[in-house]
Amino acid sequence: MPVSDDAATDRREVLYQTERSKQEAMELSWSANAYLDCAGRLCNNLIDGHLVRSPHHCRVALHLAFLALELWFKSALAAVQCSYPARHDLDGLRKLYNRVMPDIPLPIPSYLDDLIPRSGALFADAKAPSLEQHFLRLRYPSDRHGRPYPDLQMLDLAVLAVELNRLSWEAQKVQLKIWVKCGWLTPQKEDEERLDAIYRRPFPPGVQ
């Protein structure tokens, strides 16, 4: 039976949207990897003494880590053609990701997650800080009303460097799972056992 013009047009549109989502997801994931790599290199340079340690340098390392997380969430959502808000709301993106991908969790390093309760309230009349507010705090010296943010305490760069390595380790495994789920990677039967071993491989102890 010949395919109608409308059906052919619909099929072409589906293929176009699928390919567009794939390209967007891959571009976002490469950018996320680049941000995380830069954050790790900055931490290591600060630890090795090649740069003067300052709250501003530490702020940049955190900012890059938050950007990497944001782009990873958006990459995964784009891969399954789920629209996401055009904002830097990590909390909202994480909740949306967990709802769309309940079977493929992306663990956020505990050090980054713990920054929120350890920071306390940013302002007396503001609600408890969220990931989104912390993202703004890392980018700007004051909020949108012109109120200066409290000074950031110096970070434990050694801990942050290890956590960034852990995040990269876990995110690459998550990325593999998503690409297999979307059909962009089609492992042969003999590869399935090797992939499963990669998924279950723990973060190497002592990695810095």
pLDDT tens-place values along the chain, 208 residues long: 555 656 556 566 556 677 888 899 989 999 999 999 999 998 888 888 876 777 777 778 888 888 898 899 999 999 998 988 887 777 788 889 999 999 888 877 776 666 655 555 555 565 555 556 666 676 677 877 888 877 766 677 888 888 888 888 888 888 888 888 888 877 776 666 666 776 676 666 554 4
In the prediction, which pLDDT does 45 show?
A: 87
**165 touches 40 (CB < 8 A):** yes
Question: What type of residue is 86?
Answer: A
d(CA 161, CA 47) in angstroms, rounded, equals: 9
In the prediction, which pLDDT does 38 show?
A: 92
d(CA 106, CA 112) in angstroms, rounded, equals: 13
In the prediction, which pLDDT does 75 show?
A: 93
**174 touches 69 (CB < 8 A):** no
The two structure tokens encoding residue 66 = 């938050």
Q: Which of 109, 107, 131, 108 is nearest to 119 (CA)?
A: 131
**167 touches 109 (CB < 8 A):** yes
Q: Whole-structure pTM over 0.85, yes or no? A: no
In the prediction, which pLDDT does 199 show?
A: 66
In the prediction, which pLDDT does 208 show?
A: 46
Q: Is 145 exposed, middle or buried (0-12, 13-18, 19+ CB in 10 A)?
A: exposed
d(CA 193, CA 11) in angstroms, rounded, equals: 35
For 60, other C-beta atoms within 10 Å of its C-beta total: 16
d(CA 100, CA 85) in angstroms, rounded, equals: 14
**115 touches 64 (CB < 8 A):** no
In the prediction, which pLDDT does 78 show?
A: 92
In the prediction, which pLDDT does 59 show?
A: 78
